[in-house]
Structure 1
Amino acid sequence: MKRSEILESNDQYVSMWKVLAGDRKGADLRDRAGLSVCWADSPFPFWNALFLNETISDRDLLRVRLRMSHTYMLPKRHSGLVYVCEGLLNGAAREHLDAIAASESLTFALDITGMAGDILPLEVGIPHPVLDFARVESETALQAYADINSEGYGFPLEAGRSGLGGSTFWKKVAFAYIGYQNGEPVSTAAAILNDGQIYLALVATRPDVQRRGFGEATVRYALNAAYHATGITRTTLHATDAGFPVYQRVGYHRTTVFKTYKPA
């Protein structure tokens, strides 16, 4: 993996989450030593994030940073994660990451894969033979967008509505699109201008219509719309294991891996 792309992935993650968490009133965006804080204390857990933001090879320094993270998260009302970019760890810190996290009462949550590519525009597959697409521009559409993400990621509907409801950003700034099948909202994707790139976020499909290519089609449509509005060809994202093969088909490649942890 290229060092430049590892740094790019970490920087894009942090800077995008400063915006997304910061869209919620009262979000804490004040960084601590070695930690980038993007914590809205929202029922929507994506908006509660801490990122280790330095290169670490020393086990003791890693222990200190993870202890700080645990101390920060423990009294919070809502759950969140600390994100550790493996590409920023070297030597003993990387080798013993899981053991050190466990010693600081943190348990592994999931792997997130950083991905990127100079792949825009994406014209293939547009228009879609089954889906119609519409940009999120009303509160009603935004609620549908939130509900699909809650269902797709297994959250209560109230979590997504709290995390997105009332937002001007998602209705006016993000290129947030919904795919409709026979007039019913079934899939979402948002392409967002972030630090000179197009960042892909909140891709989801309703569980009852998954594995039909709807998510990929909506991704392609949102990215294409953002490209035609901005002319930017470079795009980044951070994928769960379930989404990873979809993004590979679109043209993204792996740049690094983030291991995430939550209080045990």
Structure 2
Amino acid sequence: MPAPVDIEESNAQFLAAWTYFSQGLPGHRIEDTDGVTVVLSGTDMILLNVVTLSSPAADLQDLERRARRAVELARAGGVPWLFALSDTWSPGGDAGATADVLGRLGFKPAVSLTGMVADALAPPQRAPSDLDLRRIADAETRAAIADLNAVAYGIPIAAGRASMAHESLWGDRAFGRVGYVGGQPVCAAATYIVEGIRYVGFVATAAEHRRKGYAEAAMRACLDDALRGTGIQRTVLHATDMGRPVYEGMGYRAVTRFHFHTPPQA
């Protein structure tokens, strides 16, 4: 059973990381009101436009009130968005009852992530020899990580670049790597220092190059960069179901699930 402190950390890192990703973008909107936190990037990158609870829901009535308020607040942003909530912030930890309430309001399940944490990583099992790992330090590498993620998540390239290739995301708290094979970008990952923790995000591999250890190699490289630069050991991420086995093999452990929902139609 995950420790309460780990659960609290995963929820806090989710809010802080998504805020970090959006706060430097020109059209961003970040607001915390009525128990609801709105984090909109101002771009069409739907995964970076989230509305969530600012604290655990007291009961199902409180959840319904805040979910309705979320719709009111987010619709004014003019960008596609998702409502996100962790199991541990559902009333009584009852994800099923929460899903029933949201379904009745018109929300539909979209994707789920698993909050994970590691104090130290397990040794690598393999190291690809054909991978050229370059630091994200210019427009070309910023565009590469944006494009790899956009393709992986079925998002238009322009939306990916508007959000992930923006210079504001790549300051001195960012450590990113893009892996090249034969001169072509095939994988990428980034580590950000978020509230004193190494937070991993934007991990992606081109479909034809998966299951070769490339994503893990890119992750380890940028995590090592962040460790050398800051000395921070602890690391947190929120994993897709596809990526979770890779992260477990690296030494991450699951803490809580986050469920994303598309909002009701206007």
**Which residue of the partner structure matches residue 206 of structure 2?**
206
Residue type at the aligned position of 2:196: G
Q: Helix, strand or coil: the match of 2:155?
A: coil
Measured in 2, the distance between the counterparts of 1:118 and 1:172 equals 23
Q: What does 1:78-89 correspond to in 2, within 5 Å? A: 78-89=79-90
| Aligned position for 1:252 | 252
Pairwise CA RMSD of aligned residues?
1.9
Identity of aligned residues (%): 30
Contact 2:109 2:261 in 1 (8 A): yes
Work out whether 1:68 is the aligned partner of 2:50.
Answer: no
Q: How does 1:4-19 map to 2 (within 5 A)?
A: 4-19=5-20
Moved more, 75-84 or 195-204: 75-84
Query: Equivalent residue for 1:24?
Result: 25
Give the Cα–Cα distance (whole angstroms) in 2 for the partners of residues 126 and 246 of structure 1: 12
1:144-183 CA distance string (max 9 Å, x none): 1111111122211111111123414326541011011122
Give CA deviations for 1:164-219 in whole Å, capped at 9, x if unaligned.
23414326541011011122111000011111110000000112212222111111
Aligned in 2, Cα 1:68/1:74: closer, same or farther, shift over 3 Å? same
Q: Counterpart in 2 of 1:181?
A: 181
Counting only pairs closer than 5 Å after superposition, residues 23-172 of structure 1 correspond to structure 2 as 23-91=24-92, 94-120=95-121, 124=124, 128-170=128-170, 172=172
Q: Deviations over 1:223-249 (max 9, x none)?
A: 111111111110000011111111111
Query: Quick check: 1:81–1:261 contact (8 Å CA) kept in 2?
Result: yes
Distance change (3 Å), C-alpha of 1:2 and 1:132: same
Instruction: Give the secondary-structure state (helix, strand or coil) at the position aligned to 2:216.
Output: helix
Contact 1:123 1:224 in 2 (8 A): no
Counterpart CA distance in 2 for 1:183 and 1:171 is: 25
CA pair 126-228 structure 1, distance change in 2 beyond 3 A: farther
Q: Does 1:196 align with 2:196?
A: yes
Question: Mind listing any 5+ residue stretches in structure 2 that lack a counterpart?
Answer: none
Moved more, 97-106 or 170-179: 170-179
Contact 2:51–2:82, Cα closer than 8 Å, also in 1? yes
Whether the aligned pair in 2 keeps the contact of 1:22 and 1:29 (CA below 8 Å) is yes
- Secondary structure of the corresponding residue to residue 192 of structure 2: strand
Contact 1:118 1:235 in 2 (8 A): yes
The residue number in structure 1 matching 2:242 is: 242
Q: Deviations over 1:48-100 (max 9, x none)?
A: 11121212241110100111122233454321111111112233864411111
Post-superposition CA distance 1:13-52 (Å, at most 9, x none): 1011111111211311121111122112311112211121
Q: Which amino acid aligns with 1:213?
A: G
Q: Is the 8 A contact 1:57 1:94 kept in 2?
A: no
What is the CA-CA distance between 1:127 and the residue it aligns to? 5.7
Change (3 A) 1:211 1:90: same
What is the number of residues matched between the two proteins? 263
SS at match of 1:30: strand
Supply the distance in 2 between the matched residues of 1:108 and 1:226 (Cα, whole angstroms): 34
